[in-house]
Amino acid sequence: MHFSYVNPTKIQFGQGQISSIKDLIPQSEKVLVMYGGGSIKKNGVYQQVSDALSEHQWIEFSGVEPNPTAEQLQQAILLCKEENVDFIVAVGGGSVIDGAKYVAAAACYDGDGWDILLGKHAIQKAIPIAAVLTLPATGSESNSGSVITKASTKDKLPFMHPLVQPQFAVMDPGVMKTLPERQLVNGLVDAWVHVCEQYLTTAAGNMVQDGYAETLLKNLLVLGRDYANHDNDQWRENLMWTANQALNGLIGAGATQDWATHMIGHELTALYHVDHARSLAIVQPSLLRNQALNKESKLKQMGKNVFGFADSDTLVSDTIDAIEAFYISLSVPVKLTEHSSTKAQAIDDIVNQLEKHGMVALGESQAITLDVTRKILEEAVA
């Protein structure tokens, strides 16, 4: 193990915590509140944010779409520049928070913000941001990552920078009450795959990272199996905190990481508008079967420690089957059906996009070349 680890995001967890933003942003700061398509207007979150900021000077930018686009966020970047915004509060799920991260950095840059995604601009400065989380899934509220889409070219690319990590995150599980079930399930699946991307790699005997990853996976399994009882405070609290811990840097510190499922999944979202979490459930079972030999040791460990299986000759395949069955039990499809073209054309299109994005050797050991991706997609595309 060899790593540097800090998570500087202050977490304000629990019901009623939105009011605390009043004291967490200096009153002299001019605030931009960013939010999505309006769910926060219906569930009282907008009102709580307005009340908390009643003594601040603030403006708003609304309508951030799921899988936020650089084209749309350009308007928010201009607004920040024109209005000299000092602080951004993102109120929403991963899309709004990721969008705010992009705006925060691009507003401090004279060139085209997309340069950040292309690696042509190294972020030097960003407007400070905070998050009021309304959908537990991505972990974006306390990490430095962001995923932005360029709609015109169907590019969905990630960037990471410590300057865009939220200074604080309000996590009030009460706000989850209005989540459509589809989004709640998406959150469970996304968090699950985040743990897998950092855990199902090579066995390195990292007792803290492995042990904590297994705890998070077991939590998600329990919450999924108890899904019928999701309308209660404890269920919501546990999902919100588990999803946060799944991608806040802790279990990934010093661990070999994969992320191939995510990189292939991003192309499915960019090409066919598949929900982020659903893109992962489509790719991952096939990817794990393809990479079973490379991941044998960790798949066995997961089978025993997460699913409670005994050692057997079929432990690896039983574990992958159990992961797939978990998605199916949540009514999440495990095959791509959203493509309107033939299967062969869809596979070509996905592989071409990956090649264009330089995703030509994915996974913890760069074993997932474009040819391997083709084999994975043969099983994943219906």
DSSP 55: T
The CA distances from residue 108 to 105, 116, 322, in Å, are: 6, 11, 47
The stretch among 8-16, 153-161, 184-192, 214-222 that binds Zn ion (CB under 5 A) is 184-192
The stretch among 62-70, 190-198, 302-310, 368-376 that binds Zn ion (CB under 5 A) is 190-198
The CA distances from residue 64 to 34, 35, 52, 75, 346, in Å, are: 8, 6, 22, 10, 28
DSSP 381: B
Q: Which does 135 bind (CB under 5 to 8 A by kind): Zn ion, ligand NZQ, none?
A: ligand NZQ
d(CA 264, CA 278): 12
Beta strands at 30-35 and 87-92: parallel, antiparallel or unpaired = parallel
Question: Which residue's CB is nearer to ligand NZQ, number 35 or number 87?
Answer: 35
CB of 266 to ligand NZQ, least distance (A): 6
Among 12, 48, 69, 95, binds ligand NZQ (CB under 6 A): 95
| Size of interface with Zn ion, in residues (CB under 5 A) | 1
- Considering only residues 254 through 283, tell me which ones interact with ligand NZQ, judged by CB under 6 A: 262, 276
Query: Using the rule CB under 5 A, is 258 a contact of Zn ion?
Result: no
Query: Using the rule CB under 5 A, is 190 a contact of Zn ion?
Result: yes
Query: Using the rule CB under 6 A, is 145 a contact of ligand NZQ?
Result: yes
d(CA 185, CA 170): 21
d(CA 50, CA 30): 14
Query: Using the rule CB under 6 A, is 43 a contact of ligand NZQ?
Result: yes
Q: Which does 173 bind (CB under 5 to 8 A by kind): Zn ion, ligand NZQ, none?
A: none
| Pattern 47-66, ligand NZQ, x by CB under 6 A | -------------------x
| Pattern 221-250, ligand NZQ, x by CB under 6 A | --------------------------x---
Torsion, CA 119, CA 122, CA 127, CA 131, rounded to 10: 50
Q: How many CB atoms lie within 10 A of CB 97?
A: 33
Beta strands at 129-133 and 145-150: parallel, antiparallel or unpaired = unpaired
Q: Residue 360: is it exposed, middle or buried by C-beta count within 10 angstroms (0-12/13-18/19+)?
A: middle
Q: Which does 165 bind (CB under 5 to 8 A by kind): Zn ion, ligand NZQ, none?
A: none
Q: What sign results for the dihedral spanned by CA atoms 207, 299, 217, 186?
A: positive
Question: Which residue's CB is nearer to Zn ion, number 278 or number 295?
Answer: 278
Query: Using the rule CB under 5 A, is 141 a contact of Zn ion?
Result: no
Q: Which does 245 bind (CB under 5 to 8 A by kind): Zn ion, ligand NZQ, none?
A: none
Query: Using the rule CB under 6 A, is 72 a contact of ligand NZQ?
Result: no
Among 138, 219, 284, 291, binds ligand NZQ (CB under 6 A): 138
d(CA 237, CA 17): 13
- Considering only residues 305 through 344, tell me which ones interact with ligand NZQ, judged by CB under 6 A: none
CB of 190 to Zn ion, least distance (A): 4
Run of H or E residues at 370: helix 370-380
DSSP 310: P
d(CA 1, CA 208): 11
Among 11, 34, 85, 135, binds ligand NZQ (CB under 6 A): 135
Question: In the complex, which residues of this chain contact Zn ion (CB under 5 A)?
Answer: 190
Question: In the complex, which residues of this chain contact ligand NZQ (CB under 6 A)?
Answer: 36-40, 43, 66-67, 92-96, 98, 134-135, 137-140, 143, 145-147, 175-176, 178-179, 183, 186, 190, 247, 262, 276
